[in-house]
Amino acid sequence: MKYGHFDDANREYVITNPQTPYPWINYLGNEDFFSLTSNTGGGYTFYKDAKFRRLTRYRYNNVPIDDGGKYFYIKDGDTTWSPGWKPMKTPLDSYECRHGMSYTKFNSSKNGVEAQILQFIPLGFWGELQKVSLKNTSSETKKLKLFSFVEWCLWNAEDDMTNFQRNFSTGEVEIQDSTIYHKTEFKERRNHYAFYNVNAPIDGYDTDRESFLGLYNGFDNPDVVNDGAPKNTVAHGWSPIASHYIEVELQPGESRDFIFMLGYVEVAPEDKWESKAVINKKPAKEMMAKFDTVEKIDAAYGELRAYWDRLLGKINIDSGDDRLDRMVNIWNQYQCMVTFNMSRSASFFESGIGRGMGFRDSNQDLIGFVHQIPERARERIFDIASTQFEDGSCYHQYQPLTKKGNSAIGGDFNDDPLWLILSTTEYIKETGDFSLLDEMVPFDNDASRAKPHFDHLKASFYHVVNNLGPHGLPLIGRADWNDCLNLNCFSEDPNESFQTTGNKKGSTAESLMIAGLFVVYGKEYVKLCKRIGKDVEAQEAEKHVDAMIEAVKKDGWDGDWYLRAYDYYGKKIGSNENEEGKIFIESQGWCTMAGIGQEEGMVEKSLNAVKEHLDCEYGIVLNSPAFTKYYIEYGEISTYPAGYKENGGIFCHNNPWIMIGETVLGRGDQAYEYYTKIAPSFLEDISELHRVEPYVYCQMIAGKEASKPGEAKNSWLSGTASWNFFAITQYILGVKTDYDGLVIDPCIPSKWDGFKMTREYRGATYNIEVQNPEHISKGVKRILVNGSEIDSKIVPILEAGKEHSVQVIMG
């Protein structure tokens, strides 16, 4: 069953039934100021950091779901309704929610009144706008009462859920004209406040939640709206809100527009006050003046659309299948930008207070957006590298506001350092900018310990070399990419965190996933060294890579697939000898991508084993059989019920590793089948089962051993976005960036006749047309660049500012 449809021309997903199987959300904002908005108006707004600068309250895991947001109530006679359906949930005559690129629109109607809301954050602006248009389509005069509603909480969002003895006594507001200013804690250490304004005279307001709702009422039954009259309350402590009240009389056919602005202001400490206890409203008023007319807001919306035209114009395909085209051209790229902005902080599954920017996550995210915003990718690489230590290890996360690493969610994940080689080399391949290697980048955020960025890569590489275990394989540390494979943890206490507990000496447990990862990015490191003339270092490094390949072949092969790890006792994990968890996806992915033992048939055997043991109708599960009891020596992985999350769930992040592995073998049909199994647009028809948004990837789909296979969770913020984009564009469609040009080597389904891709690269536009006359999956016979044949698969860097035709004939 479907709950809406794609509108590709507008780059929107159009939800036509508000009761989606889970809230389907969108992200507004592109730089400092953000908002999460569900298809019924739920969500919240924050400046830079959803923990420290959240403007409005949101209640996670609440009943009913998704309660609290930026709401409107329209009272028309005895009927009260909300354009986003919630909170009133009055059945609407029509409802539409259009989630687009950084904006959301609602179009609804009830009893001859049409309401349209356009909600977005203008580029470079610290405020969220809602253009509300009301139209009388009936033949009678309408006397409407419009109430707005937001709930403030501009203080520490974690504290907001715990420290009631204080918070209930701190709330303060000011009201002037049509603006409600929220100034809680402003007189002490905060140099910032928020405001909610409308560009029209108001007929009343409320700022005290209890007075507005009634102590025992929900958002769907507010006293003030029921009474049809505001109480003009001024909040003192308790829970401050902002609600405007406007009486709107509309003749038949008449319409009116209102512009609401939810803004955030920072002032210098000496400029905080206008007069005693009266906050300085000048900056807020300047913000309001920027968007006080429909023309101004429409122009800003136009700029936002043009911004996305530019970003999404860089890679565009025409494959003949709309489902694939809309993933590659629109939604997957969009999701990559959202993960760039959010990392794993704020979604409807991430609370915005738990996890900051992850070292491994942010490096991997980068491969999904570097082509769109290379300058910001460069800055991000330095932010991440600055949280590394001289020995190559690093903080597992840093907080976006301070950019400082912290140990809140642990450290010593031994895969972490290697991802810096991935992000850096992909950045250079996209941009040709080798200069970042020479930039001085701090260690441990300490400028006095800065070294050229290249040294950070070297430290990453040698961190593996310097931390090998008994089989010459990489020690796993607290865990590798699989945060839940905690091989040195041994936790017996339910009050302990698997992320931070590590009570065993980490000198035996080894990871085959890191081994494969090291061979892939070790080779990249060698290639980079050669490219920049560091030949001695290249030779030295190559020896370590070769040694790792040998170690995997010798002690990492189980006969039909690669082992996953050795545990603390030196016992095999992911072996046919094990009772449960006989085979794992991660080592199959990385060791096949690395091509380890390809001549000996290992790559093929491994991928065949994946197909046989891990593949299912909804994707490739992480391990099989899933664990059914707690293995203290394995850690969190065995805490999940079978089929969920890291225990036999379909972890969408690592499915592309297998897709890429398949392209090593040239099996394009198989690679693409795996792609379509988890690509959200291909799952639209099973939305009822899948539950989360059909336009973005989720982290996890319940696996074959789960009680409800195919049911998905944790949409939006996941490395799944960038890896699927990387796999489809660079390996399946096979247009891969390299230091000296674009390598074109598709690995596609044999039945395809070909496809077209427009790729902006180093300032030039490559109009690539791939033809597949012999219906093969892999193999390039000829490439013609602007009509002349070239004798390699690398299309060189072509003249910037121009369009070039690249004709590729497979065969």
CA distance 259 to 292: 7
Which letter, b or e, does each residue of 685-719 get, where b requires 16 or more Cβ atoms within 10 Å of its Cβ?
ebbebbbbbbbbbbbbbbbbbbeebbbbbbbbbbb
Report the Cα–Cα distance between both ends of the chain, in Å, rounded: 41
Which of 335, 374, 356 is closest to 26 using CA atoms?
335
**587/602 Cα distance (integer angstroms):** 12
Instruction: Return the bridge partners of 609, or none.
Output: none
Among 484, 783, 806, 809, binds ligand NOJ (CB under 6 A): 484
Nearest approach, Cβ of residue 352 and ligand BGC (Å): 14
The interface with ligand NOJ within residues 297-356 (CB under 6 A) comprises: 344
Residue 482 binds which one of ligand BGC, ligand NOJ, none, with CB within 5 to 8 A depending on kind? ligand NOJ
Min. distance of Cβ 698 from ligand NOJ in angstroms? 12
Closer by beta carbon to ligand BGC, 343 or else 606: 343
- Identity of the residue numbered 265: V
Residue 555 near which of ligand NOJ, ligand BGC, none (CB within 5-8 Å, type-dependent): none
Asked if 564 is part of the footprint of ligand NOJ (rule: CB under 6 A), the reply reads no
Cβ–Cβ < 8 Å for 660, 605: no
Using CB under 6 A as the criterion, what x/- string covers residues 621-640 for binding ligand BGC?
---------------x----
Which of the choices ligand BGC, ligand NOJ, none does residue 409 contact, using the CB cut-off of 5 to 8 A by kind?
ligand BGC
Smallest separation (angstroms) from ligand BGC to the CB of 710: 19
Taking CB under 6 A as the binding criterion, the range among 475-483, 505-513, 686-694, 740-748 that sits at the site for ligand NOJ is 475-483
For ligand BGC, give the closer residue by CB, 581 or 746: 581
Span near ligand NOJ by CB under 6 A; candidates 46-54, 479-487, 569-577, 599-607: 479-487
Q: Which is nearer to ligand NOJ, 483 or 567 (CB)?
A: 483
Residue 60 tokens, joined: 């996670």
Residue 711: which of ligand BGC, ligand NOJ, none does it interact with, CB under 5 to 8 A by kind? none
Is 527 exposed, middle or buried, given 0-12, 13-18 or 19+ CB atoms closer than 10 A? middle
- How many residues bind ligand BGC, per CB under 6 A? 8
- Inter-residue contact 720 to 677 (CB < 8 Å): no
* Shortest distance, position 480 Cβ to ligand BGC, whole Å: 11
Give the residue nearest to ligand BGC (CB): 483
Q: Of the candidates 81, 349, 481, 726, which one interacts with ligand NOJ according to CB under 6 A?
A: 481
For residue 572, the minimal CB distance to ligand NOJ (Å) is 21
The nearer residue to ligand BGC, 98 or 355, going by C-beta atoms, is: 355
Q: Are 525 and 457 in contact (CB under 8 A)?
A: yes
Choose from ligand NOJ, ligand BGC, none: what does 691 bind? Cβ within 5-8 Å by kind: none
Give the one residue of 49, 76, 555, 646 binding ligand BGC; rule: CB under 6 A.
646
C-alpha torsion angle, residues 189, 159, 358, 627 (rounded to 10): 170
Residue 393, CA distances (Å) to 360, 388, 413, 437, 450 in order: 12, 6, 8, 19, 15
The mark string for 396-435 relative to ligand BGC (x by CB under 6 A, - otherwise) is -------------x--------------------------
Under rule CB under 6 A, residue 157 binds ligand BGC: no
Work out whether strand 803-810 and strand 764-771 pair parallel, antiparallel, or are unpaired. Answer: parallel
Task: Enter the tokens of residue 58.
Answer: 């949101």
Least separation in angstroms between CB 777 and ligand BGC: 33
Q: Contacting ligand NOJ (CB under 6 A), which of 12, 66, 96, 361?
A: 361
10 Å CB burial of residue 185 (0-12, 13-18, 19+) is middle
275 three-state secondary structure: strand
Residue 483 makes contact with ligand NOJ by CB under 6 A: yes
Residue number, 183 or 344, with CB nearest to ligand NOJ? 344
Q: Does 646 bind ligand NOJ (CB under 6 A)?
A: yes
Find the binder of ligand BGC among 453, 645, 690, 759 (CB under 6 A): 645
483 binds ligand BGC (CB under 6 A): yes
Does the protein bind ligand NOJ through residue 482 (CB under 6 A)? yes
Question: How far is C-alpha 653 from the chain's CA centre?
Answer: 12
The only residue of 74, 346, 436, 484 in contact with ligand BGC, by rule CB under 6 A = 484
| Partner whose binding site includes residue 499, from ligand BGC, ligand NOJ, none (CB under 5 to 8 Å by kind) | ligand BGC
**If binding means CB under 6 A, how many residues of this protein chain bind ligand NOJ?**
9
Distance CA 312, CA 329 (A): 7
DSSP SS3 for 151: strand
Q: Give the C-alpha separation, 683 to 695, whole Å.
A: 9
615 binds, among ligand BGC, ligand NOJ, none (CB under 5 to 8 A by kind): none
Distance, in Å, from the CA atom of 31 to the CA atom of 47, rounded to the nearest integer, reads 9
For the stretch 581-610, what's the b/e string if a residue is b when 16 or more beta carbons lie within 10 angstroms of its beta carbon?
Answer: bbbbbbbbbbbbbbbbbeeeebbbbbbebb
Q: How far apart are CA 334 and CA 271, in angstroms?
A: 39
Beta strands in 492-536 (DSSP E): 510-511
Residues with catalytic annotation? 483
Q: Which among ligand NOJ, ligand BGC, none contacts residue 481 (Cβ within 5 to 8 A by kind)? A: ligand NOJ
For 257-275, give one letter per residue: b (16+ CB within 10 A) or e. Answer: bbbbbbbbbebeeeebeee
445/419 Cα distance (integer angstroms): 19
CB of 358 to ligand NOJ, least distance (A): 5
- Convert residues 262-301 into a mask of x (bound to ligand NOJ by CB under 6 A) and - (unbound): ----------------------------------------
Residue 615 interacts with ligand NOJ (CB under 6 A): yes or no: no
Task: Note if the bond before 64 is cis, omega within 30 degrees.
Answer: yes
Question: Residue with structure tokens 């809309």?
Answer: 326
Report yes or no: 37 and 105 within 8 Å, Cβ to Cβ: no
Q: In degrees, to the nearest 5, what angle opens at C-alpha 286 toward C-alphas 285 and 292?
A: 80
Nearer residue to ligand NOJ within complex by CB, 431 or 482: 482
What is the C-alpha to C-alpha distance for residues 296 and 305, in angstroms, rounded to an integer? Answer: 14
For ligand BGC, the closer CB: 113 or 409: 409
CA–CA separation, 240 vs 281, rounded Å?
A: 19
Phi and psi of 640, rounded to 5°? -75, 140
Q: What backbone torsions phi and psi does residue 12 show, to the nearest 5 degrees?
A: -130, 155
Smallest gap from residue 51 Cβ to ligand BGC (A) = 15
> Minimal distance in Å, beta carbon 686 to ligand BGC?
24
CB of residue 636 vs ligand NOJ: minimum separation in angstroms?
A: 9
Residue 384 exposure: Cα atoms within 13 Å on the Cβ side:
31
Build a one-symbol-per-residue string for 331-360: x at contacts with ligand BGC by CB under 6 A, - elsewhere: ------------------------x-----
Q: Minimal distance in Å, beta carbon 482 to ligand BGC?
A: 8
Stretch that binds ligand NOJ, among 84-92, 136-144, 287-295, 478-486 (CB under 6 A): 478-486
Instruction: Write the binding mask 519 to 558 for ligand BGC: x where contact by CB under 6 A, - elsewhere.
Output: ----------------------------------------
| Beta carbon of residue 651, minimum distance to ligand BGC (angstroms, whole number) | 8
**Distance between CA atoms of 652 and 585, rounded to whole angstroms?**
11
- Binder of residue 412, out of ligand BGC, ligand NOJ, none (CB less than 5 to 8 A by kind): none
- Give the nearest distance from C-beta 808 to ligand BGC in angstroms: 39
Binding site for ligand BGC (CB under 6 A): 355, 409, 483-484, 499, 636, 645-646
Binding site for ligand NOJ (CB under 6 A): 344, 358, 360-361, 481-484, 646
